Amino acid sequence: MQSRSLTIEDGKDPSALPKAPQSRVFPLRILQFFGLFLILGLGISVLSMFMIRYGGVQNVVSTVRSEFQPCLEEPGVLERWIKPPSNLMHSMTDKELFWRASFAPQINEYPFTRVPKIAFMFLTRGPLPLSPLWEKFLKGHEGLYSIYIHSLPSYEAKFPPSSVFYRRQIPSQVSEWGRMSMCDAERRLLANALLDISNEMFVLVSESCIPVFNFSIVYDYLSSSRFSFIGAFDDPGPYGRGRYNENMAPEVDITQWRKGSQWFEVNRRLAIHIVEDTIFHSKFEEFCKPACYVDEHYFPTMLTIQAPHLLANRSLTWVDWSRGGAHPATFGKADITEDFLKRILEDHNCLYNNEPSTVCFLFARKFAPSALEPLLQLAPKFFGY
């Protein structure tokens, strides 16, 4: 019987036809897979040896740790929050600075030993001619105070490294008397001081201010007070309500309009109120321009609306308006006598923590540079430092 090969023409189903043998195809694919795996493994090994040889084992380990170490295990996290900036100069804009400074803990009990400090904020055009007097006042009280200086941006201070004023300037901008740029400078001082979590009391002074009591008395007076010291009174005359612009409403009604001294002391809570404000700032900037002097109205009005129960409604800085004019009297060398200093310290009556007190002023202004020498001579006897 003659045999012949099967074909499609024979009418057979093609699926029933014998398939080509696979025994040779399977081993070939396995060999290709293992070859690729071997090449990849050798490549990784060579790369690892190169990194170890030229980059060092420590660099590889450090990279892995920096990428995978949980933040909860990172050392010094709390210290970074509570340690004040080592350098006051920074590149933050005002918007960034005020946002950062407005951070406030919601738990009043601190998880570390916190010693409240006084932040002395100097608003000045340039030099501090009375700095030797302040040096005497602050000597021996390190850790209880901080210093911040806002000057003209072009001014370069030349304090020696031994001075308490050394490298205490903050990033500053030009400020004009009676305009919102002056209040912005004060907010800038407060915001930079708020970056130190230990600052609790914030005192605004000028280059012509002096302390009229020793540091211990000033510190106890401020730290024991239940109120902040910012003047805020309702003046019905032309220099008070007469400066009100009805466009300030509804944020500010005329019955809420207040006037006060530019020089103030506020606690941390009110300092945050000032730097975080986005409600009143634009109103005062647009509708309180000379002869409405914004530095006399902005903070007193805003804080009267937001926290009237926290205000003592008086300033701690003594001035003499008896000579008349838009500015208080300036005192030079010839004015500094024992009788004059007694006038600053004596015959005052005020409320302190709602109780009568004869200690009403802790600072005084305005003093010319020529007043420094007699002030240094009389300070031990009259001021106690």
- DSSP conformation letters of 79-143: HHHHSPPS-------HHHHHHHHT---S-SS-SS----EEEEEEE-SS--TTHHHHHHHHTT-TT
In this structure, the dihedral spanned by the alpha carbons of residues 317, 283, 150 and 194, taken in order and rounded to 10 degrees, is: 80
Give the pairing type, strands 363-364 and 210-211.
antiparallel
**Residue 363: in which H helix or E strand, if any?**
strand 363-364
Give the pairing type, strands 265-267 and 199-206.
antiparallel
Q: Which tens digits make up the pLDDT trace of 204-252?
A: 999 999 999 999 999 999 999 999 999 999 999 999 999 999 999 999 9
Distances (CA, A) of 218 to 190, 313, 358: 19, 18, 14
Asked, for residue 361, whether it belongs to a domain, the answer is no
State mean pLDDT over 35-42.
65
Which tokens sit at 261?
Answer: 């001294």
Q: How far apart are CA 192 and CA 170, in angstroms?
A: 7
State mean pLDDT over 270-286.
97
List the beta bridge partners of residue 211.
363
Total of domains in the chain: 1
Residue bearing tokens 């020498």: 373
User: What pLDDT sits at residue 86?
Assistant: 82
Single out the residue of 385, 357, 262 nearest to residue 317, CA to CA.
262
Distance of CA 145 to the CA centre of its chain: 15
State mean pLDDT over 54-77.
46
pLDDT band at residue 8, thresholds of 50, 70 and 90? Answer: very low
pLDDT band at residue 44, thresholds of 50, 70 and 90? Answer: low
Inter-residue contact 219 to 146 (CB < 8 Å): no
Q: Calculate what percentage of the chain has a pLDDT beyond 90.
A: 75
Which tokens sit at 64?
Answer: 């892995």
Residue bearing tokens 């506020």: 266
User: What pLDDT sits at residue 74?
Assistant: 56
Asked, for residue 25, whether it belongs to a domain, the answer is no
Q: Calculate what percentage of the chain has a pLDDT beyond 70.
A: 80
Asked, for residue 239, whether it belongs to a domain, the answer is yes
User: What pLDDT sits at residue 4?
Assistant: 41
CA atoms within a 13 Å half-sphere pointing along the CA-CB vector of 365: 18
User: What pLDDT sits at residue 189?
Assistant: 98
User: What pLDDT sits at residue 227?
Assistant: 98
Q: How far apart are CA 365 and CA 203, in angstroms?
A: 14
pLDDT band at residue 346, thresholds of 50, 70 and 90? Answer: very high
Asked, for residue 67, whether it belongs to a domain, the answer is no
pLDDT(23) > 60: no
State mean pLDDT over 150-163.
95
Asked, for residue 44, whether it belongs to a domain, the answer is no
User: What pLDDT sits at residue 104?
Assistant: 92
pLDDT(369) > 90: yes
Asked, for residue 359, whether it belongs to a domain, the answer is no
pLDDT band at residue 140, thresholds of 50, 70 and 90? Answer: very high
pLDDT(198) > 60: yes
Single out the residue of 97, 96, 98 nearest to residue 278, CA to CA.
98
Which tokens sit at 198?
Answer: 């230990």
Inter-residue contact 117 to 203 (CB < 8 Å): no
In degrees and rounded to multiples of 5, residue 171 shows phi and psi of -60, 120
Single out the residue of 155, 298, 131 nearest to residue 209, CA to CA.
131
Q: How far apart are CA 317 and CA 120, in angstroms?
A: 13
State mean pLDDT over 270-276.
98
Asked, for residue 274, whether it belongs to a domain, the answer is yes
Asked, for residue 146, whether it belongs to a domain, the answer is yes
Q: What is the CATH number of the domain that holds 186?
A: 3.90.550
Q: Which tens digits make up the pLDDT trace of 291-334?
A: 999 999 999 999 999 999 999 999 999 999 988 777 899 999 99
Q: How far apart are CA 61 and CA 51, in angstroms?
A: 11
The distance between the two most distant Cα atoms of the chain, rounded to a whole number of Å, is 149
Domain span at residue 239 reads 88-103+115-315
Count CB-CB contacts under 10 A for residue 169: 22
**Residue 265: in which H helix or E strand, if any?**
strand 265-267
